[in-house]
């Protein structure tokens, strides 16, 4: 069932667990995540970055594929189709294409402009019954070999954005997209606690879920994180399983070159990763 992320995240915040956002790249990815969420009886959020949207032939193709898949696979758990780190223009396109949830990442704008653009999208999303995620404090990551520490959000700015009526709020607390560097100093729980204190019942979002140790994930959930984004970890699992298949020469045996066979170990690896995260986040049987 395609729904906005509002109800599932409100329940998660109240129940002290988190719903996973898993980013999708193609049909296999989408199918693996949907089937695992159904098997685990867990709500789930499918994340689509602007780049992945382009790769999959546009947001409309993605929305139509996801809706048809939910129908064909008889997926009854709540599923939100969510634009990840959307631009203002990308947000509008996804709204038109039939996404049920939008992230507008205005964190690179000065706070006044972030507020203005977020506010406009709050109104549009509210009218259409869509959920909206906003961001304060850019999430770090690796770019051209330079590793950023991850910008830490100002709790007062978080409060300003939360008060605009967004559904959920992503705040940088030292988290990073991709693998964490050896010298990473961990999440800023002091800042997270302050943000939660100021924003109350607002579900908080933790980006860069790949490689965050289980104890830190649990502590983040206890401090109000109700949505956790995972992308790279599924990619690494898929790549490792595919590499193993080829290195074992399985593509050269019989019809092992058939894409349905060649991609199967990768799909199973994604399923195992998603299952593990759902268990860790505590969203199993919360559909
Ligand atoms: P990772 O790729 O580090 O898991 O981050 C995912 C994410 O935050 C998507 O917005």
- The CATH number linked to 171 is 3.20.20.70
* 152 part of a folded domain: yes
Helix (H) or strand (E) holding 143: strand 142-143
Residue showing tokens 């994340």: 47
Q: Looking at the CA of residue 235, tell me the nearest atom of ligand 1.
A: 2
The total number of structural domains in the chain stands at: 1
pLDDT band at 146 (very low <50, low <70, confident <90, very high): very low
Residue 125 above 50 pLDDT? yes
Q: Ligand 1 centre from 245 Cα, in Å?
A: 26
Q: Ligand 1 centre from 228 Cα, in Å?
A: 9
Taking the C-alpha atoms of residue 228 and residue 232, their distance in angstroms, rounded to an integer, is 13
Kind of pairing, strands 146-147 and 19-23? Answer: unpaired
* 246 part of a folded domain: no
Please give the C-alpha separations between residue 50 and each of 55, 81, 103, 283, in angstroms, as whole numbers: 9, 13, 11, 27
Beta strands in the chain (DSSP E): 19-23, 44-49, 79-86, 101-104, 131-136, 142-143, 146-147, 168-171, 204-206, 225-230
Q: Looking at the CA of residue 233, tell me the nearest atom of ligand 1.
A: 4
Q: What is the pLDDT of residue 141?
A: 62
Q: What is the pLDDT of residue 147?
A: 47
* 254 part of a folded domain: no
Q: Give me the sign of the Cα torsion angle 45, 225, 83, 198.
A: positive
* 259 part of a folded domain: no
Number of Cα atoms under 13 Å in the Cβ half of residue 31: 11
* 247 part of a folded domain: no
Ligand 1 neighbours (beta carbon < 6 A): 23, 47, 84-85, 177-178, 207-210, 229-233
Enclosing domain of residue 37: 6-234+274-281
Residue 148 above 50 pLDDT? no
Residue showing tokens 């999303």: 125
Ligand 1 pocket test: which of 19, 22, 23, 236 has the largest number of ligand atoms within 8 Å of its C-beta?
23
Q: Ligand 1 centre from 18 Cα, in Å?
A: 15
pLDDT band at 144 (very low <50, low <70, confident <90, very high): very low
* Number of other CB atoms surrounding residue 146 within 10 Å: 8
φ and ψ at 111, to 5 degrees? -55, -35
Cβ–Cβ < 8 Å for 75, 1: yes
Kindly name the residue from 84, 144, 163, 251 that is annotated as catalytic.
84
Residues near 207 by beta carbon (within 8 Å), at least 6 away in sequence: 139, 170, 175, 177, 229
Taking the C-alpha atoms of residue 65 and residue 184, their distance in angstroms, rounded to an integer, is 38
Lookup: tokens for 182: 């050896």
Residue 139 above 90 pLDDT? no
Q: Ligand 1 centre from 164 Cα, in Å?
A: 25
* 261 part of a folded domain: no
The residue contributing the CA closest to ligand 1 atom 9 is 229
* 240 part of a folded domain: no
Q: What is the pLDDT of residue 183?
A: 87
Residue 68 above 90 pLDDT? yes
Closest CA to 113 of 85, 130, 86, 88: 88
Lookup: tokens for 141: 């990551």
Residue 218 above 50 pLDDT? yes
* 269 part of a folded domain: no
Q: Looking at the CA of residue 176, tell me the nearest atom of ligand 1.
A: 3
Whole-number CA gyration radius for the chain: 18
Q: Ligand 1 centre from 234 Cα, in Å?
A: 10
Cβ–Cβ < 8 Å for 78, 46: no
The residue contributing the CA closest to ligand 1 atom 5 is 208
Q: Looking at the CA of residue 139, tell me the nearest atom of ligand 1.
A: 8
Residue 154 designated active-site: no
Phi-psi sector, 234: left (phi>0), alpha (psi -120 to 50), beta: alpha
Q: What is the pLDDT of residue 108?
A: 83
**Average confidence (pLDDT) over 182-193:** 93
Write the pLDDT tens digit of every residue in 89-111: 999 999 999 999 999 998 888 88
């Amino acid at each position: 069932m395609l729904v906005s992320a509002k109800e599932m995240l409100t329940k998660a915040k109240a129940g002290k667990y988190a719903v996973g956002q898993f980013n999708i790249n193609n049909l296999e990815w989408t199918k693996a995540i949907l089937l695992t969420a159904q098997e685990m009886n867990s709500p789930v959020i499918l994340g689509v970055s602007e780049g992945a949207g382009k790769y999959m032939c546009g947001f409309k193709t993605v929305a139509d594929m996801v809706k048809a898949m939910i129908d064909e696979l008889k997926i009854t758990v709540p599923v939100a189709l969510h634009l990840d780190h959307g631009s203002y223009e990308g947000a509008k396109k996804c709204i038109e294409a039939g996404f049920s949830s939008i992230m507008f990442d205005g964190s690179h704008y000065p706070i006044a402009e972030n507020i203005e653009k977020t506010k406009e999208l709050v109104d549009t999303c509210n009218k259409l019954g869509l959920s909206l995620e906003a961001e304060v404090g850019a999430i770090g990551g690796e770019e051209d070999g330079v590793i950023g520490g991850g910008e830490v959000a100002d709790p007062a700015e978080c409060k300003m954005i939360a008060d605009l009526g967004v559904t959920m709020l992503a705040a940088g607390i030292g988290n990073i997209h991709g693998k964490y560097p050896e010298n990473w100093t961990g999440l800023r729980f002091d800042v997270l606690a302050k943000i939660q204190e100021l924003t109350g019942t607002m579900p908080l979002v933790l980006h860069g879920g790949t490689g965050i140790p289980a104890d830190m994930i649990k502590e983040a959930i206890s401090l109000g994180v109700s949505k956790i984004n995972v992308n790279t970890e599924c990619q690494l699992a898929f790549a490792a399983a595919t590499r193993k298949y080829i290195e074992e020469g399985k593509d050269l045996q019989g019809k092992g070159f058939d894409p349905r066979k060649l991609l199967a170990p990768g799909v199973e690896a994604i399923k195992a990763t998603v299952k593990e995260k759902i268990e860790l986040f505590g969203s199993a049987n919360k559909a």
